[in-house]
Amino acid sequence: MEDNKKNALYCSHCGALIEDDDYEEVGGEIVCTSCYEHHTTTCERCGEVNWTNQTECGMIHI
């Protein structure tokens, strides 16, 4: 389906059209709020947001 909005944003995870400012960034990717809530987790040690299928946050914890 063609979208007539010049600067339309789409979720990089599910492809949904993102309305207004209803999105988050995860690792530089734009994701809808639903994907953010259902497919991400926050590292308890550093607070970095990661995909739930990612086993580590990528930060070196000393």
Q: Is the pLDDT of residue 1 over 50?
A: no
- Section 2-7 average pLDDT: 60
Asked whether residue 44 is assigned to any structural domain, the reply reads: yes
Asked whether residue 62 is assigned to any structural domain, the reply reads: no
Single pTM value for the model = 0.73
Query: Residue 25's domain spans which residues?
Result: 9-51
Query: In terms of C-beta density within 10 A (0-12 exposed, 13-18 middle, 19 or more buried), how is residue 51 classed?
Result: middle
Quote the CA–CA distance of 2 and 17 in Å, as a whole number: 11
Domain count, the chain: 1
Q: Tens of pLDDT along 5-54? A: 677 899 999 999 998 888 999 989 999 999 999 999 888 888 888 888 87
In angstroms, what CA-CA distances link 42 with 2, 17, 38, 50? 35, 24, 12, 6
Asked whether residue 56 is assigned to any structural domain, the reply reads: no
Q: Which two tokens stand for residue 17?
A: 């059209």
Asked whether residue 24 is assigned to any structural domain, the reply reads: yes
Asked whether residue 4 is assigned to any structural domain, the reply reads: no
Asked whether residue 36 is assigned to any structural domain, the reply reads: yes
